[in-house]
Structure 1
């Protein structure tokens, strides 16, 4: 099951150099990454010990401001057994980092006046009419009441709707059924609490928002994403279906071995294989995208610039404010925006296999951390924190 989002400091173990490796053979010479100078070396040197101790397979680390990339480095291995070095263009399953991108796509329709955040979901998806909420439940009975109000678009984007994490259709993998069928299954399921009364991390909510995109735009969700957001932003390696060529660049996933003192390679158990299969694999708006560090940085640069990048406007400043500001009631502990985990001066999101991106508003910096780990042995979970600390010392010393 995909883990909840986090921004450092984290409530889960997803914390996580310059190691220029040129792999030569008679036939192939891999190009070295761009050199970012001494400042990059200081950051990657903070992460290298985790690789040396076999607590971290490898990572791609990027720091950017609203205008340019300040550093981008790779450390360690994309595949340990094959001695395949991690590269800055390595691809990763970014999992729940897909959520902010889906939310941003929906906000385009809000900007156009085609969707309102406070509209009930049933206005766009009639199957949600009459949905009930569980107020009592035990082995003998279930008592249902009408909710205080129907779930809203704002609710499904902020995990305050009462929808479950996923439905029975999404077992064992999350990508086998059409989006329409999955969302219909959510509508048939009673809410687990009354809207706005709790926070419960919900893939179902974000997937429901994506279905609204389909109904309102008249396009498949994945087509809307490609044509309105990903391709215009130049996110050329961000996709639900990596090509066979891209698959070769995907970093191997790892978890602690049985002895908890090393790493073992694994497949992503939430997805179906082959990943390039467009016939049987369906897009998963809440967590299905693969991407690269530079692609993810493009998305966050657009947001730090108030919805504009390279002279093209994607979102209004008001839409960006809604996305990146707290939407959960102050009575709840969780601070979440629309598709983003947020704080007073930052916004971002993590993914199930330990990827994480955070934009610091005060610093004006974006930190992208891409790894593929379902847990870490030893102190590997601290590697992301060491990257963030070292990068902040180098690139934002005045704010520390």
Structure 2
């Protein structure tokens, strides 16, 4: 009796083995282990020692669930410990929460991403008196292109504005290119959308974010303006030169970056965002869609020339409130936050619904962000050089010092 398999059977067997191998490989990739708490503690300790950072907090999300929240170092010069419920400045992470809130309003029929903001306002934008809460819109007088600007353009930083009006030589807002033409990071653009909401639609942004995000996702220590109870456990900040600055008590709601939060609270938002909680499938897809190619070498300065097509980052684009990228693990998204004493980042991988969120009250910690995110998530393809600029010196840990995950 011939017990050898027939050629057709052998081919089917090989195909079945190949499919099984692919399935196992896929499962292995999906089930790649996260670092243990002890390994993470050791890695963060090395990063803080190498960069001189005095305080850092980190949260890990896996399959859309918060798996770990950790805080390290100090919250002030006195040496009080940084804790997972310490109030920290959210900086431009506010923009990711704002983007999510806008998509909630889209789902509720309050906002249309592609309806010009001129149609929401009862009078022409340049006719409004200057208001320090927003931007002096009077600078747009005589340039009718402002009438073409839509919420989608504002949320994808493509309205044509500089980052803020005060960066202009005369302090007056102006349009540097036709709306929708290209990406140029602009906090002023988000303030314009806030203005349209509050003055044109009657939506109070602070209240909208409180009810739709902070209350919904168990964020009791997060707000868009200063609260006196924050003072009990508050993080001051360290500059690049090692100097200390007190926490700024921001009393005005600003879409571009007035949020105070904690790592525990922001972990809950990050998990909700990667799950898509509270959004229709269409609106969740809009957030991580490649809305507009990003064509510059780095995020700042915001109005730098576009690169020739061959030199651009091939997989980087504006999403809604975040930037999106394609890397070795598929689609990912990220958002950073920064000022002289603050370094924050959030990086998520869609396929695994895995994220890392880092808040630091010491701007020197930013040099360690790529290595720390890679330590937890593996290589994601996150555009760190674009985020921080080509001259940023990142911390690269010794492979012999990292130990086992």
Task: With the length of structure 1 as denominator, give the TM-score of the two structures.
Answer: 0.69
Higher RCO (CA-CA < 8 Å; seq separation 6+)? 1
- Seen in structure 2, the aligned counterparts of structure 1 residues 287 and 145 have a Cα distance that, compared at 3 Å, is closer
- Seen in structure 2, the aligned counterparts of structure 1 residues 266 and 41 have a Cα distance that, compared at 3 Å, is same
- Seen in structure 2, the aligned counterparts of structure 1 residues 41 and 128 have a Cα distance that, compared at 3 Å, is farther
Q: 2:222 aligns with which of 238, 261, 268?
A: 238
Q: 1:156 aligns with which of 138, 154, 157?
A: 154
Q: 1:346 aligns with which of 320, 326, 332?
A: 332
1:69 Cα deviation from its structure 2 partner? 1.9
1: CA distance between counterparts of 2:321 and 2:35?
Answer: 36
Residue 75 of structure 2 aligns to a residue whose secondary structure is strand
1:47 Cα deviation from its structure 2 partner? 1.6
Whether 1:43 and 2:40 are equivalent positions in the alignment is yes
1: CA distance between counterparts of 2:294 and 2:375?
Answer: 32
- Seen in structure 2, the aligned counterparts of structure 1 residues 145 and 238 have a Cα distance that, compared at 3 Å, is closer
1:355 Cα deviation from its structure 2 partner? 0.6
1: CA distance between counterparts of 2:188 and 2:160?
Answer: 10
1:241 Cα deviation from its structure 2 partner? 3.0
Considering fraction of residues, name the structure with more helix: 2
**2:351 aligns to what?**
362
1:286 Cα deviation from its structure 2 partner? 0.9
**1:29 aligns to what?**
none
Contact 1:77 1:86 in 2 (8 A): yes
Pairwise mapping of residues 385-396 of structure 1 onto structure 2 (< 5 A)?
385-392=370-377
Contact 1:102 1:210 in 2 (8 A): no
- Seen in structure 2, the aligned counterparts of structure 1 residues 50 and 109 have a Cα distance that, compared at 3 Å, is closer
1:245 Cα deviation from its structure 2 partner? 3.1
2: CA distance between counterparts of 1:266 and 1:53?
Answer: 22
Contact 2:88 2:361 in 1 (8 A): yes
Whether 1:296 and 2:266 are equivalent positions in the alignment is yes
Residue 294 of structure 1 aligns to a residue whose secondary structure is helix
**1:183 aligns to what?**
none
- Seen in structure 2, the aligned counterparts of structure 1 residues 77 and 191 have a Cα distance that, compared at 3 Å, is same
**2:117 aligns to what?**
121
Greater shift, 209-218 or 338-347, is seen at: 209-218
Greater shift, 63-72 or 318-327, is seen at: 63-72
**2:391 aligns to what?**
none
Q: CA RMSD in A?
A: 3.2
2: CA distance between counterparts of 1:291 and 1:160?
Answer: 28
Whether 1:64 and 2:64 are equivalent positions in the alignment is no
Gaps of 5+ in 1: 1-36, 132-141, 172-185, 258-262, 276-280, 309-313, 395-399
Gaps of 5+ in 2: 1-33, 128-139, 297-311, 380-404
Greater shift, 59-68 or 146-155, is seen at: 146-155
Q: 2:96 aligns with which of 93, 100, 113?
A: 100
Pairwise mapping of residues 300-315 of structure 1 onto structure 2 (< 5 A)?
300-306=270-276, 308=277, 314-315=278-279
- Seen in structure 2, the aligned counterparts of structure 1 residues 144 and 245 have a Cα distance that, compared at 3 Å, is closer
Contact 1:44 1:387 in 2 (8 A): no
1:254 Cα deviation from its structure 2 partner? 0.5
**2:235 aligns to what?**
251
Contact 2:85 2:221 in 1 (8 A): no
**1:337 aligns to what?**
319
Contact 2:183 2:294 in 1 (8 A): no
**1:16 aligns to what?**
none
**2:71 aligns to what?**
74
2: CA distance between counterparts of 1:143 and 1:127?
Answer: 13
1:53 Cα deviation from its structure 2 partner? 5.0
